[in-house]
Amino acid sequence: MQKDIVVIGTSAGGIEALRALAHALPRDFPGSILAVHHTSPDSPGVLAGILSRSGALPATCVTDTEIIRPGRIYVPAPDHHLIVQSGVARATRGPKENRFRPAVDPLFRSAAESYGPRVVGVILTGSLDDGTAGLFAVKKLGGTAIVQDPEDALFPSMPQTALKHVRVDHCVPLAQIAPLLIRLSRESVEEKGVLKVPDRIRIEVDIAKESNALEAGIMKLGEPSIYACPECHGVLLKITGEDEAQPRFRCHTGHAYSIESLLSEMEDKTEQSLWNAVRAIEEHVLLLRHLAEHGAHSPEAAQELRERAEEMQQHGEIVRRAAIGHPSGEIPQN
């Protein structure tokens, strides 16, 4: 066996990184490359075309199931995870992980489950920390871990987090990754019988394959926390232990979060709630002022309504400062 299953994860700055990598790989590259780049659900799905034009290897956008062949690049359709299973690449709509679908961790875990030491996991430029848990699973099952040197990455957060929590085999600049993959693809891997996959990895791969999370055994992953899932508001389980790179969270419907992605999602939801509060307060102020002008039955009643509107507007300014991020300072003026 060879190290012939290459899984790559990236987000911010990743298009250019993937283009450079595709350009540097030869037509006779013996491995198969599966890559996830964070994209929005309404993305036009042009990554496969971009990568095909960037180098000698043809790229395929996986929309259902594709047989994994050497010398090809596979990327997921928008709003789908990319999963490896028994010689095929699958596009699934399992729960979002780390706020994204596609996410890096499901690809890495599924490849590790199916191919073990044949897998080479690569983390490129990106924000936050998706890919760290998946790269940890690759190493756990005997694979090889490569991380782009953070000082060489446009966005160093993903590589930095992976380096912090995973015992990587190689940390190199982007320009050295293609030659390294070529060298690794020629290395033989010792076959050690049936691969023993930890239950946690198996459960999370099954969830990404669209299995019912409860039936897959999600409640075995950890203990209920005091936090609610920002996506569906279910209770989040806290996942810890020796099979984990760092603490993570999953709700009983399957949404998964690293600590950084959970913080980021909660910050976004909090900001959204604050702006909703600003809108509601401003509508209240408009109604009070309208009633003061057109609906009051006496000058005294009109004045009371105007005072209530002024008080409500002051409350709204406090909430607006918090939403903008200036809780105690001046609100920037246009």
8 CA to centre of own chain: 13
Mean pLDDT across the stretch 113-136? 96
Mean pLDDT across the stretch 25-34? 97
The answer to whether residues 167 and 288 belong to one domain is no
Mean pLDDT across the stretch 224-251? 91
Domain for residue 207, yes or no? Answer: no
Query: 40-44, 60-64, 89-93, 173-177: which range is least confident on average?
Result: 40-44
Residue at which a domain ends, from 185, 216, 241:
185
pLDDT tens, residue by residue, 97-116: 999 999 999 999 999 999 99
313 CA to centre of own chain: 39
Residue 100 vs residues 79, 183, 192, 209: alpha-carbon distances, Å: 8, 32, 35, 15
The answer to whether residues 10 and 142 belong to one domain is yes
Rounded distance, CA 28 to CA 302, Å? 82
Is residue 242 very low, low, confident or very high in pLDDT (cuts 50, 70, 90)?
confident
- Whether residue 124 is predicted with pLDDT greater than 50 in this model: the reply is yes
Q: Rounded mean pLDDT of the chain? A: 93
- Domain extent, residue 97, equals 5-185
The count of structural domains within the chain is 2
Is residue 328 very low, low, confident or very high in pLDDT (cuts 50, 70, 90)?
very low
pTM above 0.75, yes or no: yes
Please say whether the beta carbons of 15 and 45 come within 8 A. no
- Catalytic, out of 11, 110, 157, 185: 11
- Whether residue 329 is predicted with pLDDT greater than 50 in this model: the reply is no
The answer to whether residues 287 and 176 belong to one domain is no
Residue at which a domain ends, from 133, 168, 185:
185
* Three-state helix/strand/coil letters over the chain: CECCEEEEEECCCHHHHHHHHHHHCCCCCCCEEEEEECCCCCCCCCHHHHHHHHCCCCEEEECCEEECCCCCEEEECCCCEEEEECCEEEEECCCCECCECCCHHHHHHHHHHHHHHHEEEEECCCCCCCCHHHHHHHHHCCCEEEEECHHHCCCCHHHHHHHHHCCCCEEECHHHHHHHHHHHHCCECCCCCCCCCCHHHHHHHHHHCCCCHHHHCHHHCCEEEEEECCCCCCEEEEECCCCCCCCEEEECCCCEEEHHHHHHHHHHHHHHHHHHHHHHHHHHHHHHHHHHHHCCCCHHHHHHHHHHHHHHHHHHHHHHHHHHCCCCCCCCCC
pLDDT tens, residue by residue, 251-295: 999 999 999 999 999 999 899 999 999 999 999 999 999 999 988
The confidence score (pLDDT) of residue 121 equals 98
Domain for residue 190, yes or no? Answer: no
Domain for residue 112, yes or no? Answer: yes
pLDDT tens, residue by residue, 177-235: 999 999 999 988 887 767 789 999 999 999 999 999 999 999 999 999 999 999 999 99
Percent share of the chain, pLDDT over 70:
96
Domain for residue 152, yes or no? Answer: yes
Check which CATH number belongs to the domain holding 126 and give it. Answer: 3.40.50.180
The answer to whether 157 is a known catalytic residue is no
Domain for residue 128, yes or no? Answer: yes
The confidence score (pLDDT) of residue 193 equals 66
- Catalytic, out of 4, 105, 130, 152: 130
Query: 22-31, 52-61, 74-83, 226-235: which range is least confident on average?
Result: 226-235
Please say whether the beta carbons of 120 and 5 come within 8 A. yes
Domain for residue 309, yes or no? Answer: yes
Domain for residue 215, yes or no? Answer: no
The answer to whether residues 134 and 280 belong to one domain is no
The answer to whether 11 is a known catalytic residue is yes
Mean pLDDT across the stretch 62-81? 97
- Catalytic, out of 4, 32, 37, 38: 38
The torsion angles phi and psi of 236, rounded to 5 degrees, stand at -90, 130
> Where do runs of H (alpha helix) occur along 209-258?
213-216
The answer to whether 165 is a known catalytic residue is no
Domain for residue 253, yes or no? Answer: no
Is residue 245 very low, low, confident or very high in pLDDT (cuts 50, 70, 90)?
confident
Mean pLDDT across the stretch 70-80? 97
The confidence score (pLDDT) of residue 181 equals 97
Residue at which a domain ends, from 142, 161, 185:
185
The confidence score (pLDDT) of residue 331 equals 46
